[in-house]
Amino acid sequence: MSSPPEPGAPSGAIPSFPASADDPAAPPPDEPTRVPLAIEDWATVIVMALLALITFANVLVRYFTNSSFAWTEEFSVFLMIVLALVGGSAAVARDRHIRIEYFAEAGSLARRRGLARFGALMVAALFFVLTVTSMRMVWDDWRFGETSPGIGVPQWWYSIWLPVIALGITLRALGLFLRRGGRKASP
């Protein structure tokens, strides 16, 4: 379903964005949080820009020299993993993580609130376990002097970011848990 074109706009014009508050397809505004959601947004922009730049540089070098930068594949894989984790953090903070809407949105307000809090608590528990176990992995990378397979840099340069971002997701999930418990029941 599309909205009618603005007065004076050509019939095939693309509607202007951002969408108005009356648009049912517009995403709801973000909830207020203690830590700004702009952190994840800017991290996503920066990682995507880095991915685009190194890929473009590699394409240019490959086109003009018939060889490529050796480090771009390893670094691109690392950045894609960071991008997935940062996106997961944004999804948790905005309560847009995967769930079965049939169960999550059915029933009384108390049941929905309880399921939302349970889901947030389970996400927090999962990422806390991931934080602790990945810290052990980083320690092993450091202790044994592991190097990356592609370019031979210390492996902990890459692995240190997993517990850091997993801890961030844990804290975002705990924040969501607290926000879902603090809402007053509305009629």
- 95 falls within a domain: yes
- 133 falls within a domain: yes
Residue 100 pLDDT class (50, 70, 90 cuts): confident
CB 177 within 8 A of CB 124: yes
- 126 falls within a domain: yes
Range list of H helices, the chain: 38-65, 71-93, 101-104, 109-144, 156-159, 161-182
* Domain span at 170: 38-182
**Which residues, listed in sequence order, are joined to residue 147 by a DSSP beta bridge?**
154
CB 48 within 8 A of CB 87: no
- 24 falls within a domain: no
- 31 falls within a domain: no
pLDDT confidence of residue 43 = 95
pLDDT tens, position by position, 9-28? 444 444 445 555 566 776 67
Residue whose tokens read 């029941």: 185
- 137 falls within a domain: yes
- 46 falls within a domain: yes
Comparison of pLDDT for 7 and 146, the residue scoring more: 146
Residue 167 pLDDT class (50, 70, 90 cuts): very high
First-residue to last-residue Cα distance in the chain: 30
Residue 41 pLDDT class (50, 70, 90 cuts): very high
* pLDDT more than 90, % of the chain: 50
Tally Cβ neighbours within 10 Å of residue 172: 27
Across the range 119-145, mean pLDDT stands at: 96
Total domains, the chain: 1
- 172 falls within a domain: yes
117 CB-near residues (< 8 Å, 6+ apart): 177, 180, 181
Q: What is the C-alpha separation between 95 and 160, in angstroms, rounded?
A: 26
